[in-house]
Structure 1
Amino acid sequence: MLKHRLFSPLRRHLMEPLDALRSGTPFLNYWKELERTQYLPEAALRRVQWERLTDLLAYVWDNNEFYRERMEQAGLTPETVTSPEEFRKIPVLSKECIRQNTLAMISRGYDVGSLMKFKTGGSTGKSLEIYLTEECSERRNACARRHDRWAGWNPGEPIGAVWGNPELPLDMKSRLKDWFLSPVIYLDTMSVTEASVRAFAAEWKQVQPTLLYGHAHSIFVLAEFVRELGLSSITPKGILSTSMMLMPHERRTIESVFGIKVTDRYGCEEVSLIASECEKHEGMHLNIEHLYIEFLREDGSPASPGEPGTIVVTDLMNRAMPFIRYRVEDVGVPSDRKCRCGRGLPLMESVTGRVADFLIKKDGSRVAGISLIENTLTKMPGIVQMQIVQESMDSLVVRVVPGAEFKDSTQCGLRDYLAELFGSGTAVEVSIVDAIAPEASGKYRFSICRISQ
């Protein structure tokens, strides 16, 4: 264990800089710049953000026919966008619009074959194809590192990841590189069992990671195993929760089991990191150096501080395939509070729900799936895990992993609650299961709407 603690500074101060010099990557320079800018006054950061936004609009006007047409249809030119009010005239970009115009969104001068490409799946199960340059990817990675450090981790220290389908190094060269630069051990969320958790705990004792990182719900599942099995070897300095909404009861369990605060982080694959808690845990700092972030009411006007609003994001870094006014299908609460940490990055209070995971009542109104979970999972005794699937306007399937306190009355209460909420004639099937499998990505989905919206 001593050698692992001694090796971390060598990775940070010697091996990583040498590797960056050898490969020619500017990643470390990007990261160091972000470490500096986070403490600039908010007004200075806002000026940088607006300059980058107006530069992006000038760029797409000259080099991206898709966005030029959208600006022209709104009666705009780069010169006329002099305020957020003018900027909001550009139409909001939906997932469906991206699917229909993927290649048309690529800027002039970029060869699709030379760009980094990946797919991301939405709540409908239909993937988006995303293209970006290696430079944009490195800037995203640099930003993620800055926010990793807020959880208490330092570069070079091992990480314990609770993640699905981890990409493990296969050959000796790759394994050595990972060890010398950034060792990571994994608990694969595609198969979390007592045996796999015990194996993870044993490996943790050997490698001594300082950061526990993973999907919010997956870390919660691990915490429950650790408590039930009485394991004591998993002792992180920091816990970083990402990829999905961290439920209040999950946060309480994780923090109780491991004895430290959870650092919650929010983002999406399309635009990367959007916001993150810092060590003060007083809200989530917005990544305004890389993104222009809006919180909008249903009529398109800005939400006030403390008021939930649909999150719309403009990526200021990706010029190969720009995302301008992209509706990420989440709802967040903006804030006008200041964090005691002293950073100039403004705060959002929280992410309150997934727009794509809203369920639909017969009268056309929508019900936040995450709120349904809070009103059932956290209030009805004996429900360990739960997932609600809306197959049609008239039917719901509720998968429940029961606990020791689960009774027939719990099942009846759950069925009655949902039938009353969604209206008479709604068939509610409660399915008792041993476990709820994650998606192929390793993430769990609390609610799934299969009605076309």
Structure 2
Amino acid sequence: MMALNGNGLSWLRRAVFEPLYYLRAGSPFLDYWITLEQTQYLPETVLRERQRRRLRDLLRYAWENNAFYRSRFESAGVTPGMLDTDDCIAKIPILTKADIRSHTADMISRGFDRGELLNFKTGGSTGKSLDIYVTEECSELRNSCARRHDLWTGWKSGEPIAAVWGNPYLPHGVKQKLRDWLVSPMIYLDTMCISEEAIVRFADEWKRVRPTLLFGHAHSIYVLAQYVRDLKLSGIRPTGILSTSMMLMPHERRTIESVFGIKVTDRYGCEEVSLIASECEKHEGMHLNIEHLYIEFVRDDGSPAASGEPGAIVVTDLMNRAMPFIRYRVEDVGVPTDRKCSCGRGLPLMESVTGRVADFLVKSDGSRVAGVSLIENTLTKIPGIDQMQLVQEAVDSLVVRVVPGAEFNDATRRELHDYFKELFGGQTKIEVTAVEAILPEASGKYRFSICRI
């Protein structure tokens, strides 16, 4: 019985319960995951050719079956004869969130009924949600890909997971609870109500369930690490840590790794197209998910960004035909690279995500600066600051919201004021305001740089 509380039960989930569950459901999840385990080590040239074929197939499909995209192609001068050329994709207009909100129904391809598709909603900096539609098969293929990257952390399928998340899913009824226990047991720390009491309860539950993967919003895992350190809690010893959903800042990574004694695996994606890139066990950059996506890094003038140069991330989902996303601007900025990872995988790298477009603040001369970089430069160098948030409502106004630490004083306030005054110019009004906490949004995520211009 003792064995079934640990490795033995994890093995049963992996070898018996999970296969039976997906077989009964008729899901392609496990078969596709096994395939992805093999294809990740194919040479990049082979993976790139597969990506090109899938892209061409998608564009032809959209031309023949999607009136919204056919109209966009035609307006850009794209003809059927051009769809097989390598430079065709650059001629297609970039898809924005506003486009999606205005044309959600029109974006559904012929032969699909919205009422029979899976519907996901995603928020954003504007607070307006997007409706995303996919088939159940497409959703399972996405989940299979996520599983492959989960394993890069050192976690093994069948082992329990601890999620640090806002508004977490909780199973209801005996059937759901039994299913979760047999296939994918999880415990949660709700980021909407973090307190010492909640952290202690989470630590107690950890000792009972013994998860091996710690998964959650980057900053939320950082907050957990601070509590574990300050409360001197023992027993929370994950095998892997998976950070996602928001930028993992360097000082947060250092704290998390120091507290838990293992490396953080950082992952990047969005609800609209799922996983975009992820670190592997080598932590030498983020592997791009080119088996599911065609990913571009685009300068302001529309030309491709060079290796090492920041560019707007534009993705084409090669798997979702029910509601295609072709040249979708994610509103994040990333840095491509020509470097190769020593892990031997054929999946190419990007250096990093440098921030959301909405998180870039605007200086008086019209230039932009990454808000997360400003947070990193001040939070780690000026003593007395526990948390900070920058809010810009106008070019000549910046509010610096600070959660004071033990060393916070008038000198801290002046140093912050002078730093931002010099950076943004003498005409910019800088307001440094002390607050009790920087609260998460309704999704449970934290935003530390907000530009409303």
Normalised TM-score (structure 1): 0.97
RMSD: 1.3
Partner deviation per Cα, 1:55-85 (whole Å, 9 max, x = no partner):
0000000011111111112221243134442
Code of the aligned partner of 1:157: E
SS at match of 2:276: strand
SS at match of 1:31: helix
Q: Return 5+ residue gaps in structure 2 as ranges.
A: none
Match of 1:445 among 438, 444, 447: 447
User: In structure 2, what is the equivalent of residue 214 of structure 1?
Assistant: 216
Mapping for residues 329-340 of structure 1, pairs under 5 Å: 329-340=331-342
- Distance in 1 (CA, whole Å) between partners of 2:452 and 2:298 is 25
Is 2:383 aligned against 1:381? yes
User: In structure 2, what is the equivalent of residue 232 of structure 1?
Assistant: 234
Native 8 Å contact 2:60 2:83 kept in 1: no
User: In structure 1, what is the equivalent of residue 349 of structure 2?
Assistant: 347
* Equivalent pairs, count: 451
Is 2:50 aligned against 1:80? no
Match of 1:419 among 418, 421, 438: 421
User: In structure 2, what is the equivalent of residue 434 of structure 1?
Assistant: 436
Code of the aligned partner of 2:420: L
SS at match of 2:398: strand
Cα distance, 1:407 vs structure 2 = 1.7
Native 8 Å contact 1:124 1:449 kept in 2: no
Cα distance, 1:86 vs structure 2 = 2.5
Q: Return 5+ residue gaps in structure 1 as ranges.
A: none
Code of the aligned partner of 1:182: S
User: In structure 2, what is the equivalent of residue 147 of structure 1?
Assistant: 149
SS at match of 2:277: strand
Code of the aligned partner of 1:244: M
Normalised TM-score (structure 2): 0.97
- Distance in 2 (CA, whole Å) between partners of 1:173 and 1:392 is 52
User: In structure 2, what is the equivalent of residue 365 of structure 1?
Assistant: 367
Is 2:102 aligned against 1:100? yes
User: In structure 1, what is the equivalent of residue 34 of structure 2?
Assistant: 32
Native 8 Å contact 2:294 2:318 kept in 1: yes
User: In structure 1, what is the equivalent of residue 44 of structure 2?
Assistant: 42
Match of 1:253 among 232, 249, 255: 255
Native 8 Å contact 1:358 1:367 kept in 2: yes
Is 2:183 aligned against 1:181? yes
Match of 2:314 among 312, 315, 329: 312
SS at match of 1:313: strand
Native 8 Å contact 2:165 2:189 kept in 1: yes
- Distance in 2 (CA, whole Å) between partners of 1:78 and 1:39 is 34
Cα distance, 1:139 vs structure 2 = 0.7
Native 8 Å contact 1:304 1:334 kept in 2: yes
Native 8 Å contact 1:285 1:348 kept in 2: yes
Partner deviation per Cα, 1:381-435 (whole Å, 9 max, x = no partner):
1111111111233332222111122221111121222233333343322221221
SS at match of 2:6: helix
SS at match of 1:311: strand
Cα distance, 1:376 vs structure 2 = 1.5
User: In structure 1, what is the equivalent of residue 268 of structure 2?
Assistant: 266
Partner deviation per Cα, 1:20-65 (whole Å, 9 max, x = no partner):
1111111111111111111111111011100000000000000111
- Distance in 1 (CA, whole Å) between partners of 2:333 and 2:48 is 22
- Distance in 1 (CA, whole Å) between partners of 2:392 and 2:369 is 11
Partner deviation per Cα, 1:130-182 (whole Å, 9 max, x = no partner):
11111111111111000000001111100011111111012111111100111
Native 8 Å contact 2:219 2:252 kept in 1: yes
Cα distance, 1:95 vs structure 2 = 1.1
Code of the aligned partner of 2:122: T
- Cα–Cα, structure 1 residues 409 and 105, in superposed 2: closer, same or farther, change >3 Å? same
Native 8 Å contact 1:284 1:350 kept in 2: yes
Cα distance, 1:99 vs structure 2 = 1.4
Cα distance, 1:281 vs structure 2 = 0.6
Native 8 Å contact 2:387 2:404 kept in 1: yes
SS at match of 1:327: strand
SS at match of 1:190: helix
Cα distance, 1:364 vs structure 2 = 2.9
SS at match of 1:177: helix
- Distance in 1 (CA, whole Å) between partners of 2:173 and 2:441 is 28
Native 8 Å contact 2:421 2:430 kept in 1: yes
Match of 2:200 among 174, 178, 198: 198
Native 8 Å contact 1:354 1:370 kept in 2: no
Identity of aligned residues (%): 72
Native 8 Å contact 2:58 2:318 kept in 1: yes
Code of the aligned partner of 2:127: G
SS at match of 2:380: coil
- Distance in 2 (CA, whole Å) between partners of 1:146 and 1:209 is 18
Structure 1 range deviating more: 362-371 or 109-118: 362-371
Cα distance, 1:277 vs structure 2 = 0.4
Partner deviation per Cα, 1:165-220 (whole Å, 9 max, x = no partner):
11101211111110011100011101111111111111111111110000000000
Cα distance, 1:442 vs structure 2 = 0.5
- Cα–Cα, structure 1 residues 279 and 78, in superposed 2: closer, same or farther, change >3 Å? farther
Native 8 Å contact 2:251 2:376 kept in 1: no
SS at match of 1:371: helix
Partner deviation per Cα, 1:251-293 (whole Å, 9 max, x = no partner):
0110011010000000111110000000111111000000000
Cα distance, 1:241 vs structure 2 = 0.3
- Distance in 1 (CA, whole Å) between partners of 2:85 and 2:352 is 26
- Distance in 1 (CA, whole Å) between partners of 2:278 and 2:85 is 27
